Structures are given as structure tokens and as C-alpha cells.
Structure 1
Amino acid sequence: MSTTADLVLSLKKELKAAGLTYADLAGRLGMAESSVKRMLARGDMPLSRVDAICRALQLDFAELARRVADAQPLMTELTQEQERAVVADKKLLLVAISVLSLWTLEQITGTYRLSEPECIRYLVQLDRIGIIELRPLNRYRLKLAKTFRWRPHGPVMNYFRDHVVLDYFNGGFDGAAEGLLLVHGSVSRAIAPSFVERMQRLAQDFAQQHQADQKLPDAAREGYTLVMAMRSWEFDAFKRLRRPASGTR
């Protein structure tokens, strides 16, 4: 939740954007300019005063709070406790994966056997956990950065290792828009981490680097195996929650 200090900082930005001075604001509030300066400098004031300043700036308090929330730093990783809460309920995990894909409430309930009240309850849980900020009309803001990842050895990844990996790789990867490529090569230890960020690139990039690094001494190279996979797939436990297709029983 945003602090009063965050709200005050945002108010200062709004004051500057409106081209108003402390004297202008003081006049609208019926206060001395020195009192306004001192109040904003401390960054601490009752919400009633914040609301009065919003009125003076003709700014909706809800909009100010929304801007403050949007300015908060996004999370790149959850805590162990947050991840444990996500995997504690299979349906909650399903909704969490759905919001990571920015699905709407309507898309989730239209695809899976979840009622609207049930799905809203899970969205509220994700809000409490800290993954989303739930907004009016059941819309939400994802509070995770683009660089977000599940903890490498956390509850979510452990759950997927135990229940999902074999299900995923059990596919033939031979359907339309599917493929499984396995390329092995030796590249320098210095460049290896960059491949983690470039996994979406063609596998040939890795193979070409393997060839280019052959001129390096053995001590400067390390054997790495990069697995890239894509297939039309959905976790079987999620699939069982899908609504029947139209016209079927």
C-alpha cells in the first residue's frame, strides 16, 4: 500500500506540472506560504490535508492514488511465502498463470470451469499476495516486472518440476507450430549468462557461437546445454478445468 510520503511526493510533481508555486497553493488552501513549504518538506500530513490539496489542484484523489501505485517499483521475484501461497491451491495457481498472461476475468471464466464469484475471490487473493493490484470492475494491474521470474528453487518451480515437466515433454513436438531443438556447444563462461536472456533467438545463434569459441583455450570454455521447446500444450490438471466445447456434453 502506498504511504503518505509517496502521496506527498506525487502531489509535488502535480504542483510542478500545473505550473503552480507554493504561494499559489497556499492561497487556495488559505494557509501561509511558509506553512505549505514546511508541510510539503516534511512529507507527512493527514489524508484530510492531502484531499484538500487535491481539491485545490482539481485532482481526483483516486486518480492520485492510482498514479502513486503505478509509480511503485515492480517486483522481479516473489518471496518463498508468496510462492507457497500461490501453489497451495491449484485453481489459484491457474488464475495466477492467467494474470501473468494478462487475461481478463471474462477470458478466465470463459475458458475454465470457474464461476465469476470464484474467480474474483482468487483475484482478491492474488491482490493480497501482492501479484496484482485489483481495481474497480475487476480489472487489475500486474505488479510484476518484465524481468520477473519464479524463484529457481522456490515452491512454484519445485511444483512444476514435480507435476508439470514430464507432462510437457511427453509431447511429440511434431504438430503444427511445434518444435524441440537440442543444441550443445562450448562457449566461454563470460558469454554464457547472456544466452539466458536470449533464449528466444534461433538455436543457430548458439551453434554459431559454439563454432566461434573453438579458437579459445579449453580453460576458457565450458560445456553448456541449451534446451528450447515449443508445442501446443496445457497442463493436464488445468485442462480438466476447461468448460466443455459448445455442442458437446
Structure 2
Amino acid sequence: MSTTADLITALKAELKLAGVTYADLARELGMAESSIKRIFAKRDMPLSRIDEVLGVLRMDFAELARKVADAQPLRRELTLEQEKAVIADRKLLLMAICCLSQWTFDQVLSTYDVTEAEGVKYLAQLDRLGIIELKPMNRYRLKVAKTFRWHPKGPVMHYFRQHVVQDYFAGGFDGEGEMLMLVHGQIGRSLAMQFNERLARVAQDFAQQHLADQKLPADQRRPYTLMLGMRSWLFAAFRDLKREADSPLPRSR
């Protein structure tokens, strides 16, 4: 629910966008400019006054409320309880992943064994969980940031480690448009963060291309999954061979 302060912040932005000054607004409403300034400074205004300002802007309240909703900070992660709710139902998890990939409702129904009633139910659940804002005609707006991620050690990632990772890496990665690379090396810690940022940009490029290619016919699109990862790690089979930092080097004979 939008607070009065949120509405007034949005009103100020709309006034600025429309080039309407406080002096202009005061003349339109028959008020003193000082009174207008005081109302906006206190961020407290009755709904009747908000309606009057909207009249000057030629906007309706619903449009202002949408702008307030769009300006709300996006979630970067869910709580563990919310993740547990998502993972408790396999089809709900499927719908969540489809929404994060910005599939349309019709795409989900035509691709997976999900009925329309089930789809509506799952969209409503995702709305309550704060992942999407459900709109009329089963449309939705994502309420998570592009940098959204599941908790690294949370229930969703636990599910993926148990059921998805082995299935994903079981493939040969030798099909059209497929590849698998494992690169090991030692680099500075500050550079590791720079590589993470570059990998995040690759992921964002992939997500944006997915959206752009939705206009292509279905027979020209193929599902791909991009998995990016980087961690400080040594293969378990080699760990017992690693020399301690203070151990002496063996002498040649």
C-alpha cells in the first residue's frame, strides 16, 4: 500500500516533469505559494488535495499509484521462509523461474503441463511472496532486481544442488551453441571482483537477449541455460596433495 509520503514524492516528480512550479500550482489551486511549499515539505496532504493536484497534472489517482509502485525498491533476495514456500511446490518453483525469465502466462501454459487455474493460483502466490505484482489479464511486473539471487545456502539452492546440478553437467556440452570451459588460475583478490562484475554483465546480456528474441517464431528459438560461477576452490581429489605453506621442499637425490 502506498503511503501519503510516497504519493507526495511521486507528485513532486510529476510536477517537475511537467514543468509546473509551486507558484504555478498555487495559482491553479487558489492558494499561497508558501502554503504549497509547506505542504510538500511536510509530506502530508489530504486525499482531496492530492486529487486537486492531479487535476492540474491531468492525471488520475490510479496512474499516480502505479508510478509509486514502479518506484519502490526491488528485492535482491527473499527471506528463508519465502524460499521455503517457493520450494514446497514444484509447479510454484517452475512458475517462479518462468516469471524471473519474464515468460508470458500463455507461454507457460503452452510449454508446461500447467492448467489455467493452476497458473492463476501460482501467480497469486508469487504476488503474495513479493516476487511479482499481479496485474489484470494474468500479466505481472517483477518486483525483484536484475541482481536478484537465491540465498547461496538457502532451500532453493539446496534443491538445485540436489536435483539440478548433476542433471545439467551430465550433458556433453557439444551441441549447437553449447560449450563448457573450466579455467583455473591464481589472481589478485581485487581482480576477482572485477571478473565477477564482467560475468554479471554477460548474464544480463543473456537475459536481455531472451526478452528481445521473444518476438521470433517459436521454431526459431531454443531453450538455453547459462550457468556462471567463480569461487576460490581446489578440486577435492587434489587437496591432500597440496603442500602446507611452511612445509620444506623435498630434496633431489
**Inter-partner Cα distance in structure 1 for 2:130 and 2:232:** 39
TM-score (norm 2): 0.72
Distance of aligned partners of 1:199 and 1:57 in 2 relative to their CA distance in 1, 3 Å threshold: closer
- 1:53 is matched with 53
Deviation at 1:11, TM superposition (A): 0.5
Distance 2:200 2:178 in 1: 14
* Comparing 129-138 and 47-56, the one that deviates more: 47-56
1:131 maps to which residue? 131
Whole-angstrom CA distance in 2 between matches of 1:121 and 1:45 = 37
Please say if residues 185 and 225 of structure 1, whose CA atoms lie closer than 8 Å, have aligned partners that are also in contact: no
Alignment correspondent of 1:38: 38
Distance 1:21 1:197, change over 3 A: closer
What is the deviation of 1:98?
Answer: 0.3
Structure 1 residue runs of 5 or longer lacking an equivalent are 203-221, 227-249
1:35 aligned partner, one-letter code: S
Indicate the SS of the match to 1:140: strand
Report 1:125-204 matches (<5 A). Answer: 125-199=125-199
Alpha-carbon distance in 2 for matches of 1:18, 1:196: 41
Q: What CA distance in whole angstroms lies between the structure 2 residues aligned with 1:49 and 1:190?
A: 53
User: Structure 1 residues 86-95 or 33-42, which shifts more?
Assistant: 33-42
Contact 1:87 1:155 in 2 (8 A): yes
TM-fit CA distance, 1:30: 4.6
Percent identical among aligned pairs is 64
Q: Is the 8 A contact 1:184 1:225 kept in 2?
A: no
Alignment-derived partner of residue 115 in structure 2:
115
Q: How does 1:79-90 map to 2 (within 5 A)?
A: 79-90=79-90
TM-superposed CA distance for 1:8, in Å, is: 0.3
Higher mean C-alpha deviation, range 168-177 or range 56-65: 168-177
3-state secondary structure, aligned to 1:76 = coil
Are the structure 2 counterparts of residues 200 and 62 from structure 1 closer, same or farther at C-alpha, using a change threshold of 3 Å? Answer: closer
Greater RCO structure (CA 8 Å; 6+ sep): 1
Is contact 1:134-1:140 (8 Å) kept?
Answer: yes
Partner of 2:4: 4
Contact 1:186 1:223 in 2 (8 A): no
Name the CA shift for 1:21/1:200 in 2 (closer, same or farther; >3 Å). closer
CA distances 1:177-235 after superposition (whole Å, capped 9, x unpaired): 22222222222233223323334799xxxxxxxxxxxxxxxxxxx97569xxxxxxxxx
The TM-score, its normalising length taken from structure 1, stands at 0.73
Root-mean-square deviation (CA, aligned residues, Å) is 2.6
CA separation of 1:58 and 1:225: change in aligned 2, threshold 3 A = farther
**What are the equivalent positions in structure 2 for 1:98-109 lying under 5 Å apart?**
98-109=98-109
Range that drifts further, 192-201 or 103-112: 192-201
Q: How much has 1:5 moved relative to structure 2? A: 0.7
How far residue 65 of structure 1 moved from its aligned partner, in angstroms, is 1.4
Q: Which amino acid aligns with 1:20?
A: V
- Shift in CA distance, 118/30, structure 1 to aligned 2, threshold 3 Å: farther
> What's the offset of the Cα at 1:31?
4.2
Question: Shift of the alpha carbon at 1:50?
Answer: 2.1
